[in-house]
Amino acid sequence: MKPLHFFSRLALPVLALLVLAAISTEPDPVALRNAAIERKVDSVLSLMTLEEKIGQMNQYNGYSELTGPGSKEGSTLKKHNDIKSGMVGSMLNVLGAKETREAQELVMKNSRMKIPMLFGYDVIHGYKTMFPIPLGEAASWDPAVAEASARIAAAEASAVGIHWTFAPMMDLARDARWGRVMEGSGEDPYLSSLFAAARVRGFQGQDLAAPTTIAACAKHFATYGFAEAGKDYNGVEISESTLRNMVLPPFKAAADAGVATFMNAFNDINGVPATAHVHLQRDILKGEWGFDGFVVSDWASIGELVPHGIAADNREAARLAVTAGSDMDMESVCYLENLAGLVRSGVVEERLIDDAVRRILRLKFRLGLFDDPYRYCNPERERSSLLTPEHLAAARDGARKSIVLLKNDGNLLPLSKTLKTIAVIGPLADDKDSPLGSWRAQAVAGSAVSLLEGVRAAAGPNTQVLYQEGCKLAVGDRHFVRELKINETDKSGFPAAVAAAKKAQVVLVAIGEDCWQTGEGRSQTDITLSGVQEALLMELRKVNPNIVLVLMNGRPLAIPWAAENVPAIVEAWHLGSEAGHAIADVLFGAYNPSGKLPISFPRSTGQVPIYYNHKSTGRPTGGEMVFWTHYTDERNDPLFPFGYGLSYTTFSYSEPRLSAPEMSLGRSGKLEVRVTVTNTGSVEGKETVQLYIRDLVGSNTRPVKELKAYRQITLRPGASQEVVFTLTPADLAFYTASGRWEAEPGDFQVMTGSNSRDVKMASFKAR
Ligand code: NOJ
């Protein structure tokens, strides 16, 4: 374990900024402002008592929502008294311009130090205007879409007094059983890094003190998405190599993008819970990466060190967490009740407290809260800036870019506006709630545009649109208390649905998942279609072959029967407020689908975890014998691979052409990879041209493929474009067996293509 140099590491960047400001002819305004903030932080800190400092490290849940198991801080009266005496540095789940002002007034009017509170909230994919769930948005492969949605979410949240969102989540996820797979950007560290940085830029903008920006939070640090068996909160056994090469890059990207805060995680990593993890928080985050923001615990995760079995009681838990660098205690009150005693008895050094408080005050200054503690409590903005037509237009644009066309046999899609009869069938067909998704902040329940509404609005004037629910869906509950009703068996709606399907030229079948089947605490052992949905699909298929399956879901689903027997499949996730319009845009061809899967879709639940960037093993292939890595009852490949998605046109790819057979690993080393892509179909379309590499021999075993670059291009029918990628040694670098991030010399393959499976390959040497 490396020595803890975090105090000196913190001082260094500030010093460097001052030196830079001094030698440059034009004083850098950001450096000057940051230097001024450091002086103010020191001055405030020097005036605070130990109790007041610890108060800054305490975060209470508010009044509007409960996003964890039972609030532990006691009565509202106790909460108010603690706020008044400056014992609460931050609150979560206090919402509304009026409510945040009232809470802020308690501290500003009563406490000795008058340090404004920070109001945090889970603004995950929109505040009132809902955008696609993050996994769906990542299917756009367009970080600008995520930046725009985060920008709007920040504008809406800041209008109701929120300073800070607990987003983006950047936990890599390979196991679709895990309910929170919906909240990340899928299985790939490169794609997840681009989306993590884009969302941070979107939430925080150029200036945290601007009235429409909020602080972001990179979560959950780290490995939460690797919970064993996909069971939420479960432990994680992971190698340093996988941690560094797969899990940490998105967090590093967020740190590099200037994310203001980090949240640690509930889970145990190789025997040490993340909340007590010195190596992650002190050595890597605050040490190696020089992160100068603060780390908030996850909900009660400090107190949970006791049931984890690493602390005997809350006092011990507080000691472990503060030593590891957990700066703020969300909801466990372990800090409030124990830290002062721990410092006074000499068990915890006060400089640890000072370090944490300095980080928290720094953000409060950067947000401008000391200038105006009520700066975001603006009822006028709250009235005028939520759910605006511009926000809804952006939600529709992001939603249609997130849709993935998985199958389109015989060009069943796009639908003609001259169709006489369309049947829209399924439990999700007229569901105005599930498209809003899990983690939906203040979306109004039932406010999304349903598929049926979207189709009615888009269909031609002479098209008759029939509707039948067909069956019920497994229904979750947003209040986290009820069991899921997964085993729905009622088929009484089938006959009417079949009758409608018989009458129609095309049948749109909307099935998948209720939005509360995914999200926190919603892990499942089975990721096939729940209840009688597949049975319904089979009945409809018997009477009408022209079926378009519209999937709405928060996780990859195993749908082998549908993939084999249904001609067209549209992956429509939970797409947000404008879902129905966005799907109709794609179904009728107003938007040519361009999404690509950010995560592999398995053939069966037993195949998970399944991911494209796996290792080779010593027995990657086999002949007639059984002695190779495979299942005997299932194919090895996914149903739909990472990066996969069709268009209403087709694209052909040339072989990749390299500028040289070798690439130098020196500072100026580079290699150009050129590939010509041609639109071979009859309509204009957007293609995501993907580049993967394979490092054939490494000091540690390397993945069989790694996404390293991609480009989105739009081509008219018949048009070709040469796409040029420039690889540098940085693209070949990884966390090696010697613990360094570097490229190793040797043989490489470079692959280009339209998804992780369909690629063409060239080889080069790196020296
Ligand atoms: C627990 C979740 O894990 C975390 O992501 C969220 O931000 C907090 N609860 C607060 O709601």
For residue 299 and ligand 1, the question of a CB distance below 6 A is answered with yes
| pLDDT average, residue stretch 314-343 | 97
For residue 304 and ligand 1, the question of a CB distance below 6 A is answered with no
> Which residue has a Cα nearest atom 8 of ligand 1?
299
Q: How far apart are CA 700 and CA 738, in angstroms?
A: 9
pLDDT digits (tens, 9 = 90+) for 615-629: 999 999 988 899 999
For residue 171 and ligand 1, the question of a CB distance below 6 A is answered with no
Beta pairing partners, 59 = 90, 330
Catalytic positions are 298
- Residue 476: predicted pLDDT: 61
Question: Ligand 1 pocket: which of 64, 72, 119, 122 to mutate (most atoms <8 Å of CB)?
Answer: 122
Q: Which atom of ligand 1 is nearest to the CA of 266?
A: 3
- Residue 524: predicted pLDDT: 93
- Residue 79: predicted pLDDT: 85
> Per residue in 203-240, is it b (16+ CB within 10 Å) or e — as a string?
bbbeebeeebbbbbbbbbbbbbbbbeebbbbbbbebee
> Which residue has a Cα nearest atom 7 of ligand 1?
166
- Residue 78: predicted pLDDT: 83
For residue 520 and ligand 1, the question of a CB distance below 6 A is answered with yes
Residue 78 vs residues 88, 109, 146, 184, 324: alpha-carbon distances, Å: 11, 17, 40, 36, 29
Q: How far is the CA of 199 from the centre of ligand 1 (A)?
A: 17
Q: How far apart are CA 238 and CA 250, in angstroms?
A: 17
- Residue 227: predicted pLDDT: 98
For residue 122 and ligand 1, the question of a CB distance below 6 A is answered with yes
Q: If we measure between CA atoms, which residue out of 259, 255, 281 comes closest to residue 355?
A: 281
- Residue 375: predicted pLDDT: 85
Alpha helix segments (H runs only) across 313-378: 314-324, 334-344, 350-366
Q: Which atom of ligand 1 is nearest to the CA of 93?
A: 11
Q: Which amino acid is at 716?
A: R
Q: Name the band, by pLDDT with cuts 50, 70 and 90, for residue 308.
A: very high
pLDDT at residue 293 is higher than 80? yes
| pLDDT average, residue stretch 539-557 | 98
Residue 556 vs residues 90, 93, 518: alpha-carbon distances, Å: 36, 30, 11
DSSP 527-570: -S--TTHHHHHHHHHHH-S-EEEEEE-SS----HHHHHH-SEEE
Q: Which atom of ligand 1 is nearest to the CA of 219?
A: 5
| pLDDT average, residue stretch 682-705 | 98
Q: Name the band, by pLDDT with cuts 50, 70 and 90, for residue 15.
A: low
For residue 187 and ligand 1, the question of a CB distance below 6 A is answered with no
Beta pairing partners, 92 = 61, 120
Q: Name the band, by pLDDT with cuts 50, 70 and 90, for residue 6.
A: very low
> Which residue has a Cα nearest atom 3 of ligand 1?
298
Map residue 44 onto helix, strand or coil. Answer: helix
45-49 CB contacts, 8 Å cutoff, 24+ apart: 45/354, 45/357, 45/358, 45/361, 47/113, 48/113, 48/357
For residue 271, what are the contacts with CB-CB under 8 A and spacing of at least 6? none
For residue 529, what are the contacts with CB-CB under 8 A and spacing of at least 6? 511, 512, 537, 557, 559, 562
| pLDDT average, residue stretch 742-751 | 98
- Residue 551: predicted pLDDT: 98
Cis peptide before 220 (omega within 30 of 0): yes
pLDDT at residue 74 is higher than 70? no
CA 69 to chain centroid, in Å, comes to: 22
pLDDT averaged over the chain? 94
Q: Name the band, by pLDDT with cuts 50, 70 and 90, for residue 66.
A: confident
Q: Which amino acid is at 469?
A: E
pLDDT at residue 478 is higher than 70? no
Q: Name the band, by pLDDT with cuts 50, 70 and 90, for residue 7.
A: very low
pLDDT at residue 535 is higher than 80? yes
For residue 219 and ligand 1, the question of a CB distance below 6 A is answered with yes
Q: Which two tokens stand for residue 141?
A: 């492969």
| pLDDT average, residue stretch 527-541 | 96
For residue 285, what are the contacts with CB-CB under 8 A and spacing of at least 6? 221, 251, 255, 262, 291, 295, 325
- Residue 628: predicted pLDDT: 96
> Which residue has a Cα nearest atom 11 of ligand 1?
67
Q: Which atom of ligand 1 is nearest to the CA of 224?
A: 3
For residue 268 and ligand 1, the question of a CB distance below 6 A is answered with no
Q: Do the bridges between strand 506-512 and strand 421-425 make them parallel or antiparallel, or are there none, so unpaired?
A: parallel
CA 604 to chain centroid, in Å, comes to: 24
- On whether the CB atoms of residues 107 and 114 are closer than 8 A, the answer is yes
pLDDT at residue 690 is higher than 80? yes
pLDDT at residue 486 is higher than 80? no
Cα angle for residues 244, 609, 702 (degrees, 5° grid) = 40
> Which residue has a Cα nearest atom 4 of ligand 1?
298
- Residue 483: predicted pLDDT: 55
| pLDDT average, residue stretch 439-443 | 95
Beta pairing partners, 571 = 404, 551
Question: Ligand 1 pocket: which of 67, 233, 267, 329 to mutate (most atoms <8 Å of CB)?
Answer: 67
For residue 231, what are the contacts with CB-CB under 8 A and spacing of at least 6? 177, 178, 523
For residue 60 and ligand 1, the question of a CB distance below 6 A is answered with no
| pLDDT average, residue stretch 139-168 | 98
